[in-house]
Structure 1
């Protein structure tokens, strides 16, 4: 057998135009069967090309859109959250009979439009899910574990929902039960769910997944920040970890300056300041207190209710739109020999 005769999970998802989570669902449903990796060292599953192509033909059999499960996977939320969006008429959908069943279909373009228009709400709903956190065992993605035989192991979560361990020293992965019972791995520290803060916005940081400073930062984050103020997206295909977090000051941090430089180079939204011991992480959004007449407040609340968001978000949009329009229309008068002529910026 030749390895080119097979597709990886990522390649299969791209060919079928589905999320990787949907591929794992197809495995559970028996629509796809992964084969054993005879080459070793490959992370993830492999699928026969002919099986993937056959499933592609079956899925293309007049399917008029994405199903509820596929749409939820695409937005990285649960079906119940997606249903709430449909109930509020935030996303267009159609119910049709397909293969003798009544099925709800949603167009990808409508999902993309929703992602843009309701970015903050979608992020908040993802934050509430916290798939990177195991509530039952109070453990979190990339939390450090160790044992007498393994100096460092990192807890990882697969798209299928199962947990396992990554061993940085060897680059190998082992199952959760094997790590706990055979190697006697225990967590090096506890993580706390804690209480969510009311500060606006999130700092967004994307870090290289298997970088030693990333692991050090995760340890500091879990020790000093509540899980309720964090959200993580794991991009295995890009070997990247995206963290959304509320404002925080990390104190008495070993390698604070090195970690600070890493964060400064990888922050996508927000601000980082660091010295030899402390790291401050802040969202680019700040609170602004203003007094408004009752009628204006009432209109803002009506808009917020219509869009399924908060009055703060609506107020922010109004202010941003105002200054955006001002910048477009701003006129300056040049005091020179051309005085009296107006120029648009």
Structure 2
């Protein structure tokens, strides 16, 4: 009993995860890399758990919880005038693939990867008869706790903001 009284008090990683809107695994990762200060507490015979003080939680909340200004605004990735989204795929009989991108002036248009050219939206639709490869308006998917991605087998694809962890034997 005396040993338990000497343990630090505070929140468990599961509580912090819930309050910050993170996964428990992310909280443990942040504890390991020092982004969240926590005290290790013996748990059972050989295990360790962590306790996060109120002060440490407040520091973590400031640095880890995205603020409204950090979140992308809808207008940054969706063009309501043309009903298109950033990186949406288009194609035509003339152009096998075009992606919606924004240029230096933040104007939505098309990037043609085969010839490394940028076109205005109007030019792509009128001159190249580009059409969406899929609708951006889809019913929501059931959440199953994982994401399934299908990547083309014989095509070089570059995803600059996608990290994929592949489980051995899968």
Q: TM-score range by the shorter chain?
A: 0.3 to 0.5
TM norm structure 1 = 0.25
TM norm structure 2 = 0.46
Higher relative CO (Cα under 8 Å, sequence separation at least 6) belongs to 2
